[in-house]
Amino acid sequence: MTMLKVDHIESRYGEVVGLHDISLEVNEGEIVALLGVNGAGKSTTLKTISGLLHPTKGTIEYLGERIDRLAPEAIVRKGIVHVPEGRRIFPGLTVRENLLMGTSNRKTTRAEVERGIERVLEIFPDLKRLINQLGWSLSGGQQQMLAIGRGLMANPKILMLDEPSLGLAPVIVKQVFQTIREINEQGVTVLLVEQNASMSLRIAHRAYLLETGRVVRSDTAANLLADDAVRTTLLTAHGRG
Amino acid sequence: MQVIQLLVTGLAVGSIYALVALGFVLVYTAVNVVNFAQGDFSMVAAFFMVSLVVTAHLPYALGFVISVILAGIAGYLFQLGIYQPVKNRPRNFLPVMIATVGGSIFLQHLFLILYGPVPLQLPSVFKQQTVDLGGVHVYPQYLLIIVVTAVMVALLNWFFERTKLGKQMQATAQDPTTARLMGINTARMNALTFAMSTALGGLAGILVAPVYMVTTTMGSLIGLKAFAASIVGGFSSVKGAIIGGLAIGIIETFGGTYISGAYRDAFAFIVLVLFLIFRPYGLFGEKVSQKV
Amino acid sequence: MAKQILKFIPVVVLLAIIPFLLPGGRLGTYYLTLTILSVSYAIACLGLTVVLGYSGQVSLAQAAFYGLGSYTLAILTVKHHWPFWPSALLGIIIPTLFGLFLGAISLRLTTHYLALVTIGFQVIISLVLNNWGTVTGGADGISNIPRPSIGPLAFTNDRAYYWLMLVFLCLAVYVVHRLRHSRLGNALLALREDEIAASAAGINLFWAKVLAFSVSAALGGLGGVLYAAGAMYISPNIYIFDQSVLFFSMTLVGGQESIIGTMLGAGLLTFLPEWLRFLKDYYIAVYGLLVIIVVLFLPEGLWGLVQRGVRAALRLMKKPRPTQTAAVVETLMSRPASVKRPVATDQVLLEVKDLHKHFGGIKAVNGVSFTVRKGDVAVLIGPNGSGKTTVLNVLSGIYEPTAGEVWFNGQNISGLKPHVINRLGIARTFQNIRLFPELTALENVIVGHYPKGRVGLAGTLLSSPRGYLEERIARERAEETLHLLGFTRIHEKAKNLPYGQQRIVEIARAMVCQPQLLLLDEPAAGMNTEETKELSHLVYRLHELGFTILLIEHDMSFVSQVATQAYVMDFGSKIAEGSVEEVLHNPAVIKAYLGDDAEYDYA
């Protein structure tokens, strides 16, 4: 079943066009990757879906309903959760409080919050000992785990992850990708934006290749992984933001 | 004995500054602007209180609560009319500052028109002039100020540390974009912050009114000194605002008695300048580099 | 320059004939008194034009400087029987000294901190004037202040005195106007527009602030001196905080950045109470509302509104001129390629040793070392978030390193201020373009030439030939540089330029002083394919001209066209170095970019 349908959208930052023409679909239960070099429009696509930007052309539908004019706080209430680039942990809140903030998209009981936190700590056991530490004191990898955990607290139907491997050491990156796969196996649909193409293609079902704000290719992950041309594009193509 | 008397006075005056300073800090940490009309909401609430209690003969406690709430509503309207229109200007510090200065002038003279230039008197809730605490005579109003402030601080602490709404307000202050992505209505949080800060200012105004007179300019000097107190405290922490406020109150009271009564109003600013020279980030402030 | 000042002549003539336009009798006398008052206000407000309008710093203490001027004159002439003119001179010098002090402590202060310090200063001065009875006369003030005379000319009657004031008003206008159009004025505007970019362009923020405050204080003092001699009686209730707010409002309502606007605002708000007298008590509330309305709807003040109207009318009258076609000139872009690129020498220009920069728990840079030789085009590449921009910010002095050292030309420059590093010969551009948005393209580049100038305030105000020469050189250099880059829209405000063009202006600003090392932070970010191609061409040509360049860039085709040496960073450390070809085939780099990791088991 198609959950999210992005149809020929254009997005701008002021007068600079970020996206020219993007169309994509995300089906229930999938991991879909958006790949491309820096500035190809991957993050802009996520920002447009989550309502931080409104498309200047085209439509976005979630379960058959237009969402492209809604505010971010309305979209996250529908279960589309955007974990932004650079982790964006609340620096002055503790790990527990950061997780609590993830439940801001709905009314919760105390017990529900506790269950949610427990579930996150099962996925990221490292966070357990940091639970009362302030966000700014965490390392990059810990912050990334917290950011994903915070996203999970929202009970996402679709989890959109923007560059979860950004600035992390390879060993941590592996853990992060493994966790994304686990989360998906628990039934969360994932839309993943990554520079790290190989890793993403290995966990994703399908992927879209973006270049200068356009989709230039879409295929199953396996096909893209086997294609040498994709590698070359990603390593040497023009990039602009 | 005089020392204890002065200490009580200093703590009471300092509590007033602390309450108003808390308002400055709340707004500053939330939206990174300084509301130069903050002090005037003390005046606004004090006048409401006079109307409700002296003119309309409402019970003291009821008038008290209504006045504080009205000050909060006034703050909400103030941010709607003055902060919202200029908040998206590039380098918005100057436009916001000027708009709030204009707002301060406007408020003072609006109340001048409404209530006239003659200072009004708000009676204290206590009948007796002084109470005897083991040989020390103090004004009961001072004790009330200290107690109410302490309760208020405890309440605020509970609100920000123990409630989800309080945490959401903090989250909004720290990273508004991400807060929105979490589903927090940041516009509502900011409006609430303004309302809380002016309600705190209003509370201070009502508490201090029986000690001074109620005039249209009573808020400006309180506001400026509270502003100084919040900077001494570091401008970004609740703890700093309270300690800064109490410190300024005590220094001013002792300085006014032992050094010079004529220059009582100068001490706050002298302390401020010394702090800015020797400890520019205040008692509890952190140096934050601007991100390029 | 001289021509621009001519526009003030009609204003001066108009002001000079005002006494003849006033009605006779007591009303006329009263209006003349108000006019005298408003001229002294205008002079004080011109000080705010400098500090607020030009340098963008908030000062709510102008009434204190005004008061210091008044009281210095009054105390010296009345109590110590000094002659008028030396007292008046001291009446300017003393506030200036206080202005220097305020400017100096404002070094570390910005925005609200600064505003509050000026308020505190204002409150303290008012208290002193009120309470130091033996010297200031306390609440009673000082009366019988004499009017001045020059030889046989005595300015005892109000009309004569008014004309004398006009002479001083002209002087103040000249000072402010001259300052605005000088190198120092450009520095003040740069400070207002973007402190970080100004500092990176070689402007010492400390001196710029001190300059703005002391000029402002001097003008405040002059206004106060003239007020005291005009009114012949002063008392402390004139010099209070509310008066500072009034000065502030006058400047804003008229137009904080315009000399004529400021004078208009001073006149308007002096006479407004008279005109609004029918409103009685409501007047001041109306005035508060007026300030709010102007701030909300007319950020350039009333004069800005008038100017916009005039410009629109002119445009209607004049037929639009055909837009200039780009002249066929030999720019850097069109010059045929040279056969040989300069070869890097062995001389090490920049050496980064084991650099660390941490923010909280994040190690943005974690032990990076590399060198740039004279003649290199070195590039720093690496995935997003690998710490490249942080390295550049440390090199240019915006961040202090947590550990490690940076050596430039054999000198340790770690931890130096940005303007010092600029003057040593390192200039930079920013990833998200930091031009001074309200300045024209040409003015932006002229600011970049600031470190080459030597003439200070005295030279500027005395119109020293050297000052004009420097200004002409800066202008010519800036024009040449923009020209060289093929840029033609030099009189357009930076904020109105398209993104790609802004980048060109930013590069021009960085290279106008011929720095020994040019740092470019993602120059191709946000550019389209065509612009990127042109830009790589441009960087190539800069190299040919002999610039040593260190750049950050993601665009690999860009990088492989221009770079002679590449360093690759990942998670805060250097993982490879060599030629671009070499590093792109380095397995560690491929892994960093693509995340290739064959041995990882995904089952």
For residue A206, give the CATH number of its domain.
3.40.50.300
Q: Is residue C384 part of a domain?
A: yes
The reported pLDDT for the residue numbered C599 is 39
The reported pLDDT for the residue numbered C214 is 94
**Helix, strand, coil percentages, rounded to 5, for chain A:** 40, 30, 30
- Structure tokens that stand for C492 in this block: 């357009």
**Structural domains counted in chain A:** 1
Instruction: Look up the ipTM and state it.
Output: 0.90
Q: How far is CA B86 from CA B22, B97, B99, C295, C495, in A?
A: 23, 10, 8, 8, 19
Residue of chain C with shortest Cα separation from A225: C596
Q: Which residue, of C486, C514, C542, is where some domain finishes?
A: C514
At position A45, the amino acid (one-letter code) is T
In chain B, which residues have their Cβ closer than 8 Å to the Cβ of C130?
262
Q: Please, are residues C566 and C579 in contact by the beta-carbon 8 Å criterion?
A: yes
Residue A113 pLDDT more than 90? yes
- Are the beta carbons of A88 and B171 separated by less than 8 Å? no
User: H or E element: which one contains A31?
Assistant: strand A31-35
Residue B241 pLDDT more than 80? yes
The reported pLDDT for the residue numbered C322 is 44
Q: Which of A139, A197, A237 comes nearest C595 by C-beta?
A: A197
Q: Which long-range contacts (CB under 8 A, 24 or more apart) does C406-410 make?
A: C406/C350, C406/C351, C406/C352, C406/C353, C406/C355, C407/C350, C407/C351, C407/C352, C407/C353, C408/C349, C408/C350, C408/C351, C408/C517, C409/C349, C409/C516
A109 burial type by CB count under 10 A (0-12 exposed, 13-18 middle, 19+ buried): exposed
Residues C578 and C594 occupy one common structural domain: yes
Share the mean pLDDT of chain C: 86
Residue B63 phi, psi dihedral angles, 5° rounding: -60, -40
CATH of the domain at C582: 3.40.50.300
R_g of chain B computed on alpha carbons: 19
CA gap C101, B277 in Å, rounded: 12
Can you count the helices (H) and strands (E) in chain B?
12, 2
Residues C47 and C172 occupy one common structural domain: yes
CA gap B149, B143 in Å, rounded: 10
Q: How far is B80 from chain C (nearest CA, A)?
A: 13
CA gap A237, C557 in Å, rounded: 7
Q: Is residue C273 part of a domain?
A: no
Residues C408 and C542 occupy one common structural domain: yes
With tokens 């300690």, the residue in question is: B243
Those of residues 209-268 in B touching chain C at CB distance below 8 A are 220, 224, 227-228, 231, 262-263, 265-266, 268
The reported pLDDT for the residue numbered A159 is 96
Residues C69 and C100 occupy one common structural domain: yes
- Are the beta carbons of C554 and A163 separated by less than 8 Å? no
- Structure tokens that stand for A110 in this block: 């105390």
Q: Is residue A241 part of a domain?
A: no
**8-state DSSP, C586:** -
CA gap A152, A148 in Å, rounded: 6
- Structure tokens that stand for C580 in this block: 């671009």
The reported pLDDT for the residue numbered B63 is 94
| A234 in reach of chain B (CB within 8 A) | no
Q: How far is B191 from chain C (nearest CA, A)?
A: 19
| B34 in reach of chain C (CB within 8 A) | yes
**8-state DSSP, A82:** E
- Residues C215-248 as b/e (b if ≥16 CB within 10 A, e otherwise) read bbbbbbbbbbbbbbbbbeebbbebbbbbbbbbbb
pLDDT digit string, tens, across residues C375-410: 999 999 887 777 888 999 999 999 999 999 999 999
Q: Is residue A131 part of a domain?
A: yes
The reported pLDDT for the residue numbered C382 is 82
Q: Suggest the residue from C379, C503, C554, C596 to mutate for an interface test with chain A (most A CBs closer than 10 A).
A: C554
| B285 in reach of chain C (CB within 8 A) | no
Q: Is residue C29 part of a domain?
A: yes
- Are the beta carbons of B174 and A104 separated by less than 8 Å? no
Residue of chain B with shortest Cα separation from C431: B292
Q: Which residue range forms the structural domain that includes residue A160?
A: 2-236
Give domain limits for chain B. Answer: 22-216
In chain B, which residues have their Cβ closer than 8 Å to the Cβ of A97?
167, 170-171
Q: What is the pLDDT confidence band of residue A3, given thresholds at 50, 70 and 90?
A: very high
Residues C409 and C451 occupy one common structural domain: no
- Are the beta carbons of B177 and A88 separated by less than 8 Å? yes
CA gap B165, B175 in Å, rounded: 15
Q: Suggest the residue from B182, B284, B289 to mutate for an interface test with chain A (most A CBs closer than 10 A).
A: B182
- Are the beta carbons of B98 and C252 separated by less than 8 Å? yes
Residue A161 pLDDT more than 70? yes
**If chain C, 603 residues long, is cut into consecutive pieces of 10 residues, what is the mean pLDDT of each piece?**
74 87 84 93 96 90 96 95 95 96 76 82 92 88 92 88 95 94 93 92 91 95 96 92 89 89 91 74 70 76 86 72 42 56 80 90 87 92 82 93 93 93 94 91 94 86 86 92 89 87 93 93 79 86 90 83 89 86 84 57 36
CA gap C126, C239 in Å, rounded: 6
CA gap A206, A32 in Å, rounded: 5
**8-state DSSP, A204:** -
- Are the beta carbons of C288 and B109 separated by less than 8 Å? yes
**Structural domains counted in chain C:** 3
**Beta-carbon contacts below 8 Å between A and C:** 107
Residues C414 and C551 occupy one common structural domain: yes
Q: Which residue range forms the structural domain that includes residue C477?
A: 437-514
CA gap B101, B286 in Å, rounded: 27
In chain A, which residues have their Cβ closer than 8 Å to the Cβ of C572?
167
Residue C88 phi, psi dihedral angles, 5° rounding: -60, -40
3-state secondary structure of C234: strand
CA gap C200, C177 in Å, rounded: 26
**8-state DSSP, C323:** P
pLDDT digit string, tens, across residues B222-237: 998 999 898 888 777 7
Q: Give the mean pLDDT of A27-55.
A: 91
Q: Is residue A226 part of a domain?
A: yes
Residues C358 and C224 occupy one common structural domain: no
Nearest to C379 by CA among C531, C509, C504, C518: C518
Q: Which of B170, B174, B182 comes nearest A104 by C-beta?
A: B182
In chain C, which residues have their Cβ closer than 8 Å to the Cβ of A165?
595
Residue of chain B with shortest Cα separation from A98: B171
Q: Which of C116, C121, C291 comes nearest B105 by C-beta?
A: C291
| B85 in reach of chain C (CB within 8 A) | yes
Q: Which of A78-82, B285-289, C210-214 has the lowest mean pLDDT?
A: B285-289
3-state secondary structure of C367: strand
Residue A237 pLDDT more than 80? no
Q: Suggest the residue from A101, A136, A148 to mutate for an interface test with chain B (most B CBs closer than 10 A).
A: A101
